[in-house]
Structure 1
Amino acid sequence: MERYILKDNEARSRYEFDLGGHTAYIDYEKDNGTIVLTHTFVPEAYEGRGVGAQLVAAALADIRRQRLKVVPQCSFVAVYIKRHPEWSDMVSETAGAER
């Protein structure tokens, strides 16, 4: 599987992978030590190749490095965290209340 380099595009409030002419991304909103992951997008030509999972894992690693709590508002991110419980300690206690 090809490895992509995570870019935190703060100007657009999203994590990105440059796929060589296409971009996969996760939109986010930062607020008081918390980051809300609102939407994940993977170009159709790259679906089913693990790009989304790789993007979520890289974003979560960066979020952990920053010591932020995450609110997985995006269903793709929420399912990823449920399937990979090693990230569950990062989920904000208020994540369920904000829905």
Structure 2
Amino acid sequence: MTGADTIAHVKHEPDLSRYTLWQDGEPVGLADYRLVGQELKFTHTEIDPAKRAHGLASILIEQALDDVRTRTDLTVVAACPFVADWIDQHAEYQDLLIRGT
């Protein structure tokens, strides 16, 4: 566990079709998505350049995927290369790619 784990949290903003990562009361990252039928397609992930290399993008994606898993039965489409790589490295999330198919 890094120090970022204890001070960073993810907020779902459905009106903006994104998950945002907050640290010390400031937004430091986002993961945009599009809903297409029964698919939630992650299209873009971004972390503030000054905050990179601290594992924040991983925290953002893990918490976003956990929210999708518990709140919906949607199939995840990893159109964003970072999300695709992250899921490839975390086998326990690969079932999200085939749900509902």
Structure number with higher helix proportion? 2
- Post-superposition shift, 1:17? 1.0
- CA RMSD of the aligned region, Å? 1.5
Distance 1:62-1:40 versus aligned 2 partners, 3 A rule = same
In the alignment, structure 2 segments of 5+ residues that lack a partner are none
Deviation at 1:68, TM superposition (A): 1.5
- Matched residue of 2:65: which SS? helix
Provide the C-alpha distance between the structure 1 equivalents of 2:93 and 2:46, rounded to a whole number of angstroms: 20
Extract structure 1 runs of 4+ deviating beyond 4 A. none
Task: Indicate whether 1:86 and 2:92 are aligned.
Answer: yes
TM-score of the pair, normalised by structure 2: 0.84
Report the identity percentage: 30
Match of 1:60 in 2: 65
Q: Does 1:11 align with 2:15?
A: yes
Identify, as 1 or 2, the structure richer in strand. 2
Equivalence for 1:44: 49
The answer to whether the 8 Å contact 2:28/2:51 transfers is no
List alignment gaps of at least 5 residues for structure 1.
94-99
1:28 corresponds to which of 7, 28, 33 = 33
